[in-house]
A and B are shown apart, each in its own frame.
Chain A
Amino acid sequence: MSSIFEKVKAIVVEQLGVDEEEVNMETSFEDLNADSLDIVELVMALEEEFDIEIPDEDAEKIKTVGAAVDYIKENQ
């Protein structure tokens, strides 16, 4: 689980250009000033990293780092 979080964190840091310290399980993408297109890109990067497909209706519900980690755990 920590490894999924670490990977997600690395992607969030890279995609959104934020500092690692800003990213924890509770962080919402909105807090990191991600706009809707940033989030689309983030989801694309997660799909690639974890080799999963996240349907649009699920992607809309992923609003925090923790939600992304949980989703990946359940669907990997």
Chain B
Amino acid sequence: MGVDLRTALVTGASRGIGRAIALQLAADGFAVAVNYAGSEAKANEVVEEIISAGGKAFAIQGDVSRSDQVDEMVQKVLAEFGRIDVLVNNAGITRDNLLMRLKEEDWDAVLDTNLKGLFLCSKSAIKPMIKQRSGRIINITSVVGQMGNAGQGNYAAAKAGVIGLTKTLAKELGSRNITVNAVAPGYIQTDMTDKLSDEVRESLAKTIPLGRLGQPEDVAKVVAFLASESAKYITGQTINVDGGMVMA
């Protein structure tokens, strides 16, 4: 394994934004571990697409909310690639409902995957990064974590938590040349937002200054930038890719 080979682990990379991130990082020369929880066939498609384009990738199953599975996943990536330069914490789910109707299990499921998963994956991947004296952690949050959203209390809480954790990790790991940043997509055209009705989608588009939903590639390009040498002095930040929905 060449020492100059840069490697990335992308969680939840079989579909949507994670898929676009995996493809973009591969196009930028990263060897990519394509994590999935259940969509094995979709993950294999992503891997095949990367390999047929001349890149390097493999699919790896693992539930990010389970520490045993996460540790095993990181060990497998290290065995395969020898190092982890970039961790993209992307895996996320939704279980929407008004808070007063939200079931405890739906609260737990979203917090477990979207927030605890980020804790576990980061904890496990940090060790090799510290030894390498370099690393990049990029967390996918959401505008919903910044502005709230009726019917998404669990998702909003988890995504706001991601931003707090991003800032904290950036402070803990800065001295070891590990940067930690978040990317906050707005409404991006994926399976997750395809569930919305046309009516909701149209009214959403009116709240977006750019007047349209974003594409997964729009998010992937920013993640790739944060993973690149160009972004080496950026840490603890949340970068919005939302067509102007949220302006700090």
Q: Do A and B bind each other?
A: yes
Chain A residues packing against B (C-beta within 8 Å): 37, 40-41, 44
A68, B104: Cα distance in complex, Å: 44
Using a Cβ–Cβ cut-off of 8 Å, how many residues does chain B contribute to the interface with A? 7
A37, B129: Cα distance in complex, Å: 13
Q: Which residues of chain A have C-beta atoms less than 8 A from B127's C-beta?
A: 44
Q: Which residues of chain A have C-beta atoms less than 8 A from B130's C-beta?
A: 37, 40-41, 44
User: In chain B, what residue has the closest Cβ to A47?
Assistant: B127
Do A37 and B176 have beta carbons less than 8 Å apart? yes
Q: Least Cβ distance of B67 to chain A in Å?
A: 12
Q: Which residues of chain B have C-beta atoms less than 8 A from A41's C-beta?
A: 130
A67, B216: Cα distance in complex, Å: 52
Q: Which of B149-185 contact A (CB under 8 A)?
A: 172-173, 175-176
Do A37 and B131 have beta carbons less than 8 Å apart? no
- 4 shortest A-B CB distances, which residue pairs? A41-B130, A44-B127, A37-B172, A37-B175
Q: Which residues of chain A have C-beta atoms less than 8 A from B176's C-beta?
A: 37
Q: Binary interface profile of B, 172-214, with partner A (CB < 8 Å = 1, else 0)? A: 1101100000000000000000000000000000000000000
Q: Binary interface profile of B, 82-106, with partner A (CB < 8 Å = 1, else 0)? A: 0000000000000000000000000
Q: Beyond the given A37-B175, A40-B130, please list 8 additional residue pairs across the A-B interface where CB-CB is below 8 A.
A: A37-B130, A37-B172, A37-B173, A37-B176, A41-B130, A44-B127, A44-B130, A44-B131
A41, B176: Cα distance in complex, Å: 10
- A selection of 7 A-B contacts at a CB cut-off of 8 Å is A37-B172, A37-B173, A37-B175, A40-B130, A41-B130, A44-B127, A44-B131
A41, B127: Cα distance in complex, Å: 8
Q: Least Cβ distance of A43 to chain B in Å?
A: 10
Q: Least Cβ distance of A56 to chain B in Å?
A: 10
A37, B133: Cα distance in complex, Å: 13
Q: Which residues of chain B have C-beta atoms less than 8 A from A44's C-beta?
A: 127, 130-131
User: In chain B, what residue has the closest Cβ to A48?
Assistant: B131
